[in-house]
């Protein structure tokens, strides 16, 4: 979308507003229309360097062009009159209105001015200016039109409007960064090292990560402030150039206002460098605290491991003693088993004699006289008629004793 306001062809300036879909999105203008705008007004090539600072981004530091460009040349579209061109990118901070993350965001706007030195008429191409800048510019143009001034607006007034809108939030943003650093610095300065309690500050690696992200913001802010200072100083040189070319008359109040903004940005640069120095000390102190605590935790872990090793050694010694005792018991058991084996062999040797003695002492085998009337005629053994029962029972029991273990083994 390209908008032109104040279309009076003879006395008024022309303003072209080009906006983005989002802060990191494309311009709302086609490539062909943008080329026509550049060609029809013979806009010098250095302006394209600042245009490249817009478009798709993955990080705030991507494609940032700082400083300013200016050139005085002769243009054919002004009947051979000289023109003076001046452009820059102005970066500033503003509240993003999001309820998550950082409430502040880095913004930028592009400004291009082409002045015809003969007619003192300006053409402006404004890239992604804020609503506040647009409102202040509209108000200045309305005030000028109400005065019926045919000379048009002072070519330096829009620059002062943009600079004032840029400078308004820096103090509050630096205080926001200072508060973030103070939280981490308090942890670093007052956190106990050796003896920790429930009321102590919890210092962790995340604090170092947050501090690193904060230092990146501080470094980015420092670079942006340097760029803003270059732009404002360039505007001061631009003012002096226009006075020299007799495009405008000297305006001490306007120059003094520019000088005030230069002083403000210089003071902000000093403040941001001071915060950076503090953040460096905080970072070193947090790193030392984490190193000391890590070493202490490592020492405690080493001592715990050593205690466990001592316990394991004592346990191993006890197990070794028990194993020695068990070995002695096993040896004694082996000796006892050998003795039992010997006794078993001896007992086995006496089994036949025991069997015979048992049979002859039982009623199965009896001693009878050869002559019942004469005891001198000797005796003889008589086997009982029930002896077969003993033999059958022995055979059956022997069979059961042999077959049952074999059956258990097989099954």
Q: What is the DSSP string of 245-296?
A: TTSS---HHHHHHHHHHHHHHHHHHHHHHHHHHHHHHHHHHHHHHHHHHHHH
Q: Residue 4: its pLDDT value, please?
A: 44
Contact 91, 55 (CB under 8 A): no
The model's confidence at residue 347, banded by pLDDT at 50, 70 and 90, is: confident
Q: Kindly indicate the confidence band of residue 13, based on its pLDDT and cuts at 50, 70 and 90.
A: confident
pTM of the predicted protein model: 0.72
Angle at the Cα of 252 (from 5 to 268), degrees rounded to 5?
Answer: 80
From CA 225, how far away is CA 317, in angstroms rounded? 72
In the predicted model, is pLDDT for residue 350 greater than 90?
A: no
Q: What is the pLDDT of residue 176?
A: 95
Residues paired with 84 in a beta bridge = 72, 115
Whether residue 86 is predicted with pLDDT greater than 90 in this model: the reply is yes
The residue-averaged pLDDT of 123-152 equals: 82
| Among 183-192, 266-275, 336-345, the range of highest mean pLDDT | 266-275
Farthest-apart Cα atoms in the chain, separation: 184
The answer to whether residues 82 and 220 touch, using CB atoms and an 8 Å cutoff, is: no
- 74-98 average pLDDT score: 82
Instruction: Tell which residue, 102, 103, 109, 147, has the closest CA to residue 11.
Output: 147
Over residues 380-384, the mean pLDDT reads 74
pLDDT tops 60 at residue 1: no
Question: In whole angstroms, what is the distance from residue 355 CA to residue 342 CA?
Answer: 20
Q: Which range is least confidently modeled, 55-59, 165-169, 184-188?
A: 55-59
The answer on pLDDT for 376 being more than 80 is no
**How large is the average pLDDT for residues 176-194?**
87
Residue 221: HSE in the Cβ half-sphere, 13 Å Cα cutoff: 32
């Amino acid at each position: 979308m390209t908008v032109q306001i104040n279309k009076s062809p003879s006395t008024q300036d022309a303003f072209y507003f080009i906006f983005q879909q989002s802060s990191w999105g494309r311009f709302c203008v086609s490539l062909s229309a943008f080329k026509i705008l550049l060609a029809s007004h013979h806009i010098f090539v250095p302006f394209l360097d600042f245009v490249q600072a817009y478009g798709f981004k993955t990080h705030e530091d991507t494609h940032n062009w700082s400083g300013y460009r200016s050139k005085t040349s002769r243009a054919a579209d002004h009947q051979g009159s000289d023109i003076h061109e001046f452009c820059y990118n102005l970066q500033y901070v503003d509240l993003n209105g999001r309820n998550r993350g950082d409430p502040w965001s880095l913004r930028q706007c592009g400004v291009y001015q082409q002045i015809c030195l003969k007619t003192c008429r300006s053409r402006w191409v404004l890239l992604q200016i804020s609503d506040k800048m647009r409102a202040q510019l509209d108000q200045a143009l309305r005030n000028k039109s109400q005065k019926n001034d045919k000379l048009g607006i002072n070519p330096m007034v829009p620059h002062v409007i943009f600079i004032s809108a840029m400078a308004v939030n820096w103090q509050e943003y630096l205080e926001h960064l200072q508060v973030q650093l103070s939280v981490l610095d308090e942890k670093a300065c007052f956190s106990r090292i050796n003896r920790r309690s429930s009321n102590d500050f919890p210092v962790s690696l995340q604090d170092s990560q947050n501090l690193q992200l904060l230092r990146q913001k501080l470094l980015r802010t420092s670079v942006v402030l340097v760029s803003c200072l270059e732009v404002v100083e360039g505007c001061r040189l631009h003012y002096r150039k226009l006075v020299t070319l007799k495009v405008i008359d000297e305006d001490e109040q306007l120059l003094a206002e520019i000088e005030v903004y230069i002083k403000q940005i210089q003071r902000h640069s000093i403040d941001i460098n001071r915060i950076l120095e503090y953040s460096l000390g905080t970072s070193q102190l947090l790193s030392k605290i984490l190193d000391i605590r890590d070493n202490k935790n490592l020492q405690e872990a080493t001592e715990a491991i050593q205690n466990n090793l001592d316990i394991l050694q004592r346990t191993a010694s006890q197990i070794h003693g028990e194993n020695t005792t068990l070995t002695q018991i096993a040896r004694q058991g082996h000796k006892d088993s050998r003795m039992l084996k010997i006794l078993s062999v001896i007992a086995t040797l006496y089994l036949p004699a025991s069997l015979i003695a048992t049979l002859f002492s039982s009623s199965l085998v009896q001693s009878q006289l050869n002559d019942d009337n004469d005891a001198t005629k000797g005796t003889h053994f008589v086997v009982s008629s029930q002896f077969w029962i003993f033999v059958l029972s022995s055979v059956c029991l022997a069979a059961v004793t042999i077959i049952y273990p074999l059956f258990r083994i097989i099954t």
